[in-house]
Structure 1
């Protein structure tokens, strides 16, 4: 160690030593003694022990210059090998030149100058340290720039608060959301920075306190509402604690030029200095989600709940009714003559009608009732907590009256009615699909009775069962396989007994040869819409049969074909009739279409126009089942008809029922007053025929004269009755037994 100290002292005057050729080592060793004695040491320098032979040789000057480069090389080597530890070991390299010089003196009497080495080593270490500090500063500035750029660019609002929940930092998004700059907001409580609803303000305060006290990230699950300059916004909040940053010094072993990192949370050592609040504005996202949810559960045109939402509400209502002994009513609503409005005025006007009807129906509902659009021109109303059937009936009548009122669309007066079917829960059932099907069935019952009325479901009504679905499939195949046939029932002149007309009655031939009467399958055709193609087939087949009889040279009489309400409301009816006449080539006067009185009353305006078009073709029109539709007699004069048919229910008891007889007499007198012939249906006895003849009824039809016959039997009848003039009597024409004419004539045609 003494040698090292001497080397250090000599190193201080090293620039002069290169001028000394040599020096005695013993003399050199005298120096510590001199210095120590000057400091109070009692020792004397060992001058007597000087050995002139032991001389110190200075290192060659050229080699010294090379040796002075060693510190720089050593610094570079350490920097490359242990870059993360150099600023620790670099300090220990400073005494190395003196130690090396002392070792050379002791062993080889060789003097190595130390000043150059030391200065080089210190200078290199300082330069390296300075470079590290500059790199660390640049890295810190780079990371800070990246962080600032990120905070400037993100749409989330970032707010930094201290442990007292006072604002320390706002990024631009937070400034815009709060409507305050950072300078204005700094130091203010974060709770006062925004206008929160009271519950939301408490939620924010609780989340922030939990974050600071429990030293963990807290995420608020629900979106909070606040009032911003842009209006009310909804935000989701995440609160994250900020711990005191630990930047290691040079003794820690970490480089300063590495990116700064937040020290991990240590509950024992780290100190929480505040929290960062990240506010994500989810207003638009929630609006979009609400919009998608609304579109998934509501009708796009009317804004009403759709089938999915209705079914869900109906399920809950039924469960509540079962638990609380309450009743629920399902009203299935279908608009009358909407298809005519839609086809004649266009879909834009049709949509306007649906919107207006939806608005009117909504006005008839209570706040907790549900009005839904089922599809097309169908609506469903769910009435909860109904006290009685009478209350439901009153509500249904109110809806019918409201819809029936005329309204203007683009200066066009439009009027349409509606039919309503009603099912009650739990009285009729508790299954959602079954209740809807029951209400639908009751609605079609109302439509079949003329529309603009409501019907409650009754257990005797036909229901959609597997048999009905199978029957529908068979009916469709029946059209394809031509298994439908027409039978014809004669109409006889009461004065002469001559055949003056035929009524075409539909039959369905089964695979085993049995013929089904219409009463067994027509309800299904009405429900499924097959009534339209089947009705078209009946018209075409009747005209084709007339053409075949004509080609056989037989005398012809008019053939009557029943048309249903749905056919009358279908705008294609006139086209179908015109095409049938054109294809068959028969005289239009030989085809007579029978329209029921209830059909006429369902849509007076439409039927009036329809009759005008049919009469323009030359086709005759008869009003069937007269007296059953409760129509106003004043409407009769507006219809261009050629014949009136008295319903069989009035003819059946004319010999025993005075009221029925009076109605028959009045109908005959009314028709004759209008210049129209009268046909009495269901004539089965001589007494009935005598009564009708006595009161000047024109034509009779019933089992008294003949049952419905196939086309070959009718051909013989035409040949015999018209060619020979033989009166038609029941004893003359015998047919296979069928159900009574009353049912046959009432339900035989596809009505």
Structure 2
């Protein structure tokens, strides 16, 4: 057995080893964890115990057993050393876990700071109400320098928000972890106010409890919301119908105007398709074309004929646009519509009048010329023949003079109906004015076929017509020209048919004649007239007369129209209807028109200088003049030479002149308007109506032709048409002049229609330049 000394030595060795190990572990623990000074003292105590045991071990090793402590005491010391080493070994993992948690916390705080610094939103961190961190976005929001933030009180920059926090703290003492998002208004350094969206949260910031505020500038969103609110209000209050559908066409939104226009309530239309408005006036091809455009992402614009809930038809000027998301996919369709029923019906009526005779509703000259032009092209390609028949009623003027114009008009209506029944389907019967009718016969295979129809037309006139207890029998003279023998263009064919018609009259009337060389005398007579015209300008045979234009509302003369006459040495002046067409056809109208411009402008300037009149002068421009490439230069030169202000010159242009070359005409009118010259549309409604182009021109005045004015006091239809024309003009911000006013009744109707200006025999016949001053002195008594 081991003796007591050896056992003590063994116990002592183990005790020393355990104490040394405990000391080493304590030192390592201190180095790793960085614990407090108490652990250093423990380590020292263990080390001292180890030293003490080392001394005891030294005594045993040297044989000094006198100083050795008792064995039982050494065993106790051994046990204590074991417990110390065991305790330190067990504590070390705990402190390692604490160290790892601390390291993780530091990393999180570092990441939090990095994220805060790089965040696009403003980040504000405050400890005890003082700013300890603000990223660049927050600095930019408030407009301060970076150094201005550190240590700054939160309440200095965000008083409204701090007040909000105070109320929350008073209401609840519970610890806040994450609060709801709300908005505040802050004042920037420059004094401007900025709306912010704030998210508040409590965080650990560098080992301290801190309040982190995430700040987001919502000024753009607020502006967008305000715009959306304004837009929404506009859509709700607009007078135009607005509805939005999903991609399948189901209505998801409609505004009050939709209900007012269509008669369908919101509950009746929501979830339905726009088919509930279909009138059946459009075929499937129309809707297919519309949807093809929409599916391609294009906007559809057009006029739809729809049906209201009551069944009433209405015209809607419609715009339908696809709404797309950020990926370009169509999510909805928005439709806006304006009820244009009144305007459309008025335009349709005026368009009808532009192409049809007001009295008989037959095609007028414009429509006839279009059809004849088309027929010539077709016949030329097919090798066919066609015929133009010019019919003039014999002595119709006697009926008007003896029985009155009203009965004469009724007679013309009946004759028009009879003539239409005599021709084939596809042929055209037109009225050119007065008692002149022109017929187009297409697909005419032989002269015998044409003769048969011509005879049938004349025979139908011989049938008695009963009107107002009068039995009337009229005859007619008819001239015929054939394409291509007698002409290859509309004007030539009509002219030669007209010439043949006059030959028929010369041969006894109530007969028809084909154009032939026999008409040479008539042609020769025209050539003689043309020759005389060519010398008329040089011989100073042209004269200008001036017809006053009367201000119907205020009274007085508002201007004069210059009218051309020809004094060729005979007893009477030759009216323009005789020689103007020849001037137009030969091109002499350009030089004669230039003379008219110079003479009229010079005369008006003389009246200005003499104090006689300070009113504009109106001058007609022929189609050839209007399209003369030097027109603008000539007018500028004339105004410069005469000294007449441009605003004192009004140029009257026919509708057909404007639409001959629309783009060129727009440029000419634009240039003249910029000069200050006024533009008027002459004889509105008698030619090719330019309604579709009218708004494109800078026009000042519409002149209503006398054919519309003559019966306005007795015929409600005529009065209605004139009212429509005046209304259209005023809608386009144009003034109106009515020509051919001959009675007080006509003047009163025009005055009631708010027509500004009139001219006609009621007030004055065309006057010579010497008669104008005399007339102006007594004009006040005329109104």
- TM-score normalised to structure 1 length: 0.42
Higher relative CO (CA 8 A, sep ≥ 6), structure 1 or 2?
1
- TM-score normalised to structure 2 length: 0.41
